[in-house]
Amino acid sequence: MSAATTKIPDTFRAYVFERYGDALQNIKLVSLPQAPLSPTHVRIKTHAFGVNPIDYKLVEVGHRFLPAEPTPEKPFRLGFDVAGTVVETGAEVSRLKVGDAVYAMTSFDATGTFAEYVALAAEFVAAKPAALDFTHAAGLPVAGETSYQGLVTHGKLAPGHRVLVLGGSSATGALAIQIAKALGAAHIAATTSTRNVALVRSFGADEVIDYTQEKWGEVLAAHSVDLVYDCGVEPQAWRGGDAQKVLKRATGVFVTTAPHLGREVAAGGSAFVSFLTEPSATVLDTLSALVDAGKLVVPIDSVHAFEHLHDALKVQKSHRARGKIIVQVVDNAEESASE
């Protein structure tokens, strides 16, 4: 039995896929029964969720790395980002209570936030920042935790460091620039296209490099960068020469969000790290503190209705988004009435 509950419907709507293939053709909205809640989990009524590149890629190329195959009898659920309200807590959960406004990232083996309700481990769930509404909060977990872990956990960012962000107009890039600034980076350079130069500068980048006009490996001084953070756009730069040219020889680190590329150390001593984001309420609490201190904002590209997920996916697949793509499950009027 759950420790605490509020009125919960027996069924709810969720997006699933029953086979691998084109995401726009294979993702569909279905009705699912509420499953019993694990003692260590909480059930969240979803107010909004963020859309990430991994969401459509699971459908289109998941057969290359997922250990199982979805079927009509056992479809796979989608979604990692969620912001909402706790409606049920497991018997062993004491840190959270029914009615709490929260946000979270699921683990990679427990997706399912593209739904009206989602149950996930309480250890991944944090209180929503007071300064953010649910729509903006839904855009922070995956991109924010990814950039924090890339910069701090793997990149060993320290005050005074000089940082290069590859992909500054992406959601992870925008948040990385702000996080690096808040944590004391001395100089932040970022790459982007011509149309996004002003936007990236507004996030706090000290130097914006338009990759359509110049090469960052030629703009930045040799061996002047402590940390290169690649938002999955140029992982090949590690071996291509440019990274080795700008990174400090003995201490420089190249971190990429492109997964499964491992770790290695160059002859000169600079290091390469490829990682997968680990969901963490502790990291979310750190990000919340930055948000509430006015040091971190979540850029939103577009907001879509729950029934129009496919429109959100089209924007994501266009690679033209300037910030997070959000799907709103509870509209603003209903959200205000529930507070």
Per-residue pLDDT tens digits for 49-81: 999 999 999 999 998 888 899 999 999 999 999
- What pLDDT shows up at residue 67? 86
- What pLDDT shows up at residue 7? 87
- Give yes or no: residues 69 and 127 share one domain: yes
Question: Which one, of 274, 214, 264, lies nearest residue 244 by Cα?
Answer: 264
Amino acid identity at 85: T
* Radius of gyration from C-alpha coordinates of the chain: 20
Confidence label for 4 from pLDDT (cuts 50, 70 and 90)? low
Tokens linked to 137? 């909060």
User: Each residue of 108-145: pLDDT tens digit?
Assistant: 989 999 999 999 999 999 999 999 999 999 999 999 99
User: Alpha-carbon dihedral of residues 320, 81, 335, 100, nearest 10 degrees?
Assistant: -150
Is 294 a member of any domain? no
- Give yes or no: residues 136 and 8 share one domain: yes
- Give yes or no: residues 189 and 270 share one domain: yes
Confidence label for 264 from pLDDT (cuts 50, 70 and 90)? confident
Domain that holds residue 258: 143-274
- Give yes or no: residues 131 and 14 share one domain: yes
Average pLDDT score over the chain: 94
Q: What is the average pLDDT across 175-195? A: 98
Is 292 a member of any domain? no
Task: Evaluate whether 284 touches 95 at the Cβ level (below 8 Å).
Answer: no
Q: What is the DSSP string of 51-85?
A: E-HHHHHHHHHGGGT-SS---SSSPEE---EEEEE
Residue 232 region by backbone torsions, left for phi larger than 0, else alpha for psi between -120 and 50, else beta = left
Tokens linked to 59? 């459908």
Strands (E) in the chain, as ranges, are: 4-5, 11-17, 27-33, 41-51, 76-77, 81-89, 101-105, 117-121, 125-127, 162-166, 187-192, 207-210, 227-230, 253-256, 263-265, 271-274, 300-305, 324-328
Pairing of strands 227-230, 162-166: parallel
- The SS3 of residue 116 is coil
User: Each residue of 190-239: pLDDT tens digit?
Assistant: 999 999 999 999 999 999 999 999 999 999 999 999 999 999 999 999 98
pLDDT over 80 (residue 241): no
Which CATH number does the domain housing residue 256 bear? Answer: 3.40.50.720
- Give yes or no: residues 134 and 17 share one domain: yes
- Give yes or no: residues 133 and 166 share one domain: no
- Give yes or no: residues 39 and 111 share one domain: yes
Task: Measure the CA–CA gap between 153 and 179, rounded to whole angstroms.
Answer: 13
The H or E element spanning position 134 is helix 134-137
Task: Measure the CA–CA gap between 105 and 280, rounded to whole angstroms.
Answer: 8
- Give yes or no: residues 265 and 219 share one domain: yes
- What pLDDT shows up at residue 332? 59
Is 285 a member of any domain? no
Task: Measure the CA–CA gap between 103 and 97, rounded to whole angstroms.
Answer: 13
Q: Count of domains in the chain? A: 2
Domain boundary among 231, 259, 274: 274
The partner residues of 14 in beta bridges, in order of sequence, read: 30, 115
Tokens linked to 5? 């509950």
Question: Which one, of 253, 241, 166, lies nearest residue 208 by Cα?
Answer: 166
- Give yes or no: residues 8 and 31 share one domain: yes
The partner residues of 162 in beta bridges, in order of sequence, read: 187
Which CATH number does the domain housing residue 330 bear? Answer: 3.90.180.10
Enter the pTM of the model.
Answer: 0.94
Task: Write the CB contacts of 218 (distance below 8 Å, at least 6 apart in sequence).
Answer: none
- Give yes or no: residues 96 and 151 share one domain: no
User: In b/e form, how buried is each residue of 11-44, taking b as 16+ CB within 10 angstroms?
Assistant: ebbbbbbbebeebeebbeeeebeeeebbeebbbb
Q: What is the DSSP string of 250-292?
A: TT-EEEESSSS--EEE-TTS-EEEE------HHHHHHHHHHHH
